[in-house]
Structure 1
Amino acid sequence: MKHPNILAASSAAALAMGATIAPGYVPPEFGRKGEGDAPDIMQLSRDLKAATDKVKEFAEDAKGRLEKGEQLTTKAKESADEALVKFNELSAQMTEIEQKFARFGTGGGKDADRKSVGQQFVEAEDVKSFMERCPSKGSVQFGTKALITSLTTDAAGSAGDLIIPDRQDGIIAPPERRMTVRDLLTPGRTNSNAIQYVQETGFVNNAAAVAEGNLKAQSDLKFDLLTKPVATIAHWVQASKQIMADAPMLQSYVDGRLRYGLAYAEELQLLKGDGTGSNLLGLIPQAVAYNAPFVMAQATMIDQLRLAMLQAVLAEFPATGHVLHPIDWARIETTKDAQGRYIIGDPKTSGTKTLWGLPVVDTPAQTAGKFLTGAFKLAAQVFDREDANVTLSTDDRDNFVRNLVTILAEERLGLAVYRPEALVFGSFPAAA
């Protein structure tokens, strides 16, 4: 039976007897030739071959003796152990060198693949030859390996899939309109589904001085009982249970967007609702038409609003504000006199939006080219039956089997316009 270490001799011996090593080459890890502790690779190869031969000689002798039934002497065993120790030492050194050759190659000490593309370009013989011919015209081709790029295709060198985008937190929401119409009205609450009120619709005033003993005059009053329904404004969206659980912030975001949607629809209902179906009857459909108390030559937008205020005053309801579209308010603010000076305010300051002493509410909910002037708190009152709220539910059968959540937002409110004559609605002249 062979000694266990004898079996390890084959690979190292093969290198010792058959490997070709470039004379004078030293792997980069050993330093340059002639410097430091660089090993003599050729001498090491010869020593390893001699040690291998000695181990083989012992193995053949031991095999012959064992086949004849002879025992090995103690001296023979000691000689064999010395040969094996020497062989193991040389084999370990040669294995280390072999591994370094495998890593660094056997040609010159520098790996050409480690050169940059620019270095390979300037060292290319074709490029050198072309540059020596300058300034002659022409072209030269230079081949190089595929570059690593940020492409996400399956082309060579594409590494774009390794790039992780810098994801910012949150959701970028679109702009939201500033709601203003509700703030103009008198607030109220109700526990019913309709608002009823008695409105004076006619008054013939015959009050006059009466001589002693004469018949006194009779005046007439007319009343109507009006009923205004409470409207429901609502909308909903669906989301999966998984996304609601995995992205908790989505719930609050959707909640806020749904509430904004209610406020947006509410503003339009309060201002323009036509009263048909489930719609509120808004302020503009019930306002009286603008009718200038007197005619002005070349009346401007500013003049019209002053005459609308006068119309409300003559109806015994002094106006408290104007509702304009932002375009019309901009037209008013940029109005200039004959010397080119702004009439309303100073462009260098951001003053309060007022005109003729009354606040101006500019909102895209108003139609461009139209205005509404009036005593809003005396004219109308908004009644809240159910404040805006958001409800989540999975009760629907379709939701249950599909793991969906219905997110519902709704509110209920009513609008009572007590004094339509306190509101004046009109049109501006077309812009030049």
Structure 2
Amino acid sequence: MKMMTKSAASAAAIIAAASAGAIRVPAGVVGTPRMDAAGNVEKLLGEVKSELARVGDEVRQTAEDALKQAKSAGDLNAETKEKADKALAEFNGLSGALMKLEGKLEALETRNLDLEQTVAAGGRGGGAPSQTVGQELAGSDELKAWVTGGLNGNLVLKPKAAITSVGGSGGGLIWPTEDRTPVNMARQRLPIRALLMQATTDSDVVKYAKQTLRTNAAAMVAEEGTMPESAYGWTQAEANVRKIAHVTNISDEALADAGQLESAIDGEMRYGLDLEEEAQILAGDGTGQNLSGLVTEATAFSAAAGLPDTTRIDRLRLGMLQLALANYATTGITLNPIDWAAIELLKDTTGRYIFGDPNVSKTPMLWGADVVPTVTHSAGEWMVGNFMMAATLYDRQAAEVQISSEHGTNFVEGMKTMRAIKRLAMAVKRGSALVTGDFTFA
């Protein structure tokens, strides 16, 4: 609620004081605003100053008469004293009101402008006529009583016609902020593809030779001795190009009315392809149109005898050992984020984190190998490997999104169909370069 103090209420005091008969103010300053008031500001101000000068002269004359009477008679008679008090009160009241006269006249100009706008609009409006804050204060009983009491002390007025944010007040000029950037659902990180060797193909099948035999008979031979014979063999293998695809339907109106919709759906459909690709690369079972994934082709974990195998760290280190015994160096570890968090939370006997200060940001690593947490792995499942040597991913057709009305009854129903397609093949050439297992402990 707005508070109106004595200083701010002076303009309204002029009106109330004039109504009470305490001050004679030019008629143009009070009452309903005249249409020409804005053009007579200087004239009105001159009239009020002239009135103040007149009252000042009366006060001075009365004071001189009182001084003479006091010198001759030693005291003032009741009539002179009453006249002096009345003149002084009138002078003080008019002087205080004049201090804010310019503010009153400025408000008058604003009211005239509002009135002109109302007239220009044809005087249209509904309900009872609105009352400004100044009009409300000028007619208040509290202000009239304050003027009658001699304008003494401070006056605090609480106008009811305050400007607020509700409709019909200032609320009509308040517009909501509109953020047209859509808030999309979270997207999963897809790190597995980046671990593999990547190539392209222009065919529907990739053929390659895979060594299946190595009999090494190399030995020390004496001069003119018979050399032992080694044997080697390769077998042709192939990886078929597979297609990942999906469609969605959108109305013509939705596409026309939402400018961002087509690009948003395009992004979502491409993400959908990549999400399925990630799942196929890691765990495709090789049946039907599925890829044969890394976990499917990897060597099953088999713990070496006589070594510790009671924690997740133990288990992963034993998996790396198994890989090393197969003549491969581990370059990466993949596992579910839950299992990686469990490893990072391990503490020593003094309560300190084994992996050091949690405030230090660093690339996840374990035993010198990069750790790749991904929710594509099931909780409790892990894999260690030399991924570059293990598999090659062949791109036949990069992700492509198309839109058309030529599908089913789309044309007569006013619909569009968007489809997204990508084609690829994956060859796991060295399944022995991967070891997979779980964190189940006996």
Match of 2:191 among 180, 189, 194: 180
The alignment covers a number of residue pairs equal to 297
Hey, what does 2:432 align to over in structure 1?
Answer: 421
Amino acid at match of 1:223: W
Match of 1:234 among 242, 245, 254: 245
In structure 2, relative to structure 1, the CA distance for the partners of 1:104 and 1:402 (3 Å cut) is closer
Superposed counterparts of 1:41-52, under 5 Å:
none
Question: Is contact 1:301-1:429 (8 Å) kept?
Answer: no
Indicate the structure (1 or 2) with the bigger Cα radius of gyration: 1
Matched, 1:363 2:374: yes
Matched, 1:271 2:285: no
In structure 2, relative to structure 1, the CA distance for the partners of 1:397 and 1:285 (3 Å cut) is closer
Task: Give the SS at the match of 2:400.
Answer: strand
1-structure distance, mates of 2:290, 2:309: 39
Hey, what does 1:340 align to over in structure 2?
Answer: 351
Superposed counterparts of 1:125-144, under 5 Å:
none
CA deviation digits over 1:114-144, x for unaligned, max 9?
x9xxxxxxxxxxxxxxxxxxxxxxxxxxxxx
1-structure distance, mates of 2:380, 2:310: 15
Structure 1 alignment gaps of length 5 or more: 1-30, 39-102, 116-149, 151-162
Task: Give the SS at the match of 1:248.
Answer: coil
**Deviation (angstroms), 1:358:** 1.0
Q: TM-score, normalised on structure 1?
A: 0.62
Question: Is contact 2:202-2:396 (8 Å) kept?
Answer: yes
Hey, what does 1:211 align to over in structure 2?
Answer: 222
Matched, 1:287 2:310: no
CA deviation digits over 1:172-211, x for unaligned, max 9?
1010011100000011000011111111123222222233
Superposed counterparts of 1:9-24, under 5 Å:
none
Matched, 1:170 2:178: no
1-structure distance, mates of 2:390, 2:128: 93
Task: Give the SS at the match of 1:280.
Answer: coil
**Deviation (angstroms), 1:32:** 7.5
Question: Is contact 1:206-1:219 (8 Å) kept?
Answer: yes
Amino acid at match of 1:396: H
Matched, 1:244 2:250: no
The percent identity for this pair of structures is 41
**Deviation (angstroms), 1:292:** 2.5
Superposed counterparts of 1:43-62, under 5 Å:
none
Question: Is contact 1:345-1:351 (8 Å) kept?
Answer: no
2-structure distance, mates of 1:290, 1:185: 21
Matched, 1:202 2:210: no
Question: Is contact 2:340-2:373 (8 Å) kept?
Answer: yes
2-structure distance, mates of 1:213, 1:240: 86
Question: Is contact 1:288-1:424 (8 Å) kept?
Answer: yes
In structure 2, relative to structure 1, the CA distance for the partners of 1:166 and 1:220 (3 Å cut) is same
2-structure distance, mates of 1:316, 1:249: 53
CA deviation digits over 1:261-284, x for unaligned, max 9?
111100000000001111100101
* RMSD of equivalent CA atoms: 3.6
Structure 2 alignment gaps of length 5 or more: 1-17, 32-126, 137-165, 167-173
Amino acid at match of 1:388: A
Amino acid at match of 2:232: L
Amino acid at match of 2:182: I
Matched, 1:303 2:314: yes
Question: Is contact 2:310-2:441 (8 Å) kept?
Answer: no
In structure 2, relative to structure 1, the CA distance for the partners of 1:402 and 1:104 (3 Å cut) is closer
Hey, what does 1:382 align to over in structure 2?
Answer: 393
**Deviation (angstroms), 1:164:** 8.4
2-structure distance, mates of 1:178, 1:293: 34
Match of 1:224 among 219, 235, 257: 235
Task: Give the SS at the match of 2:260.
Answer: helix
Hey, what does 1:119 align to over in structure 2?
Answer: none
**Deviation (angstroms), 1:397:** 4.6
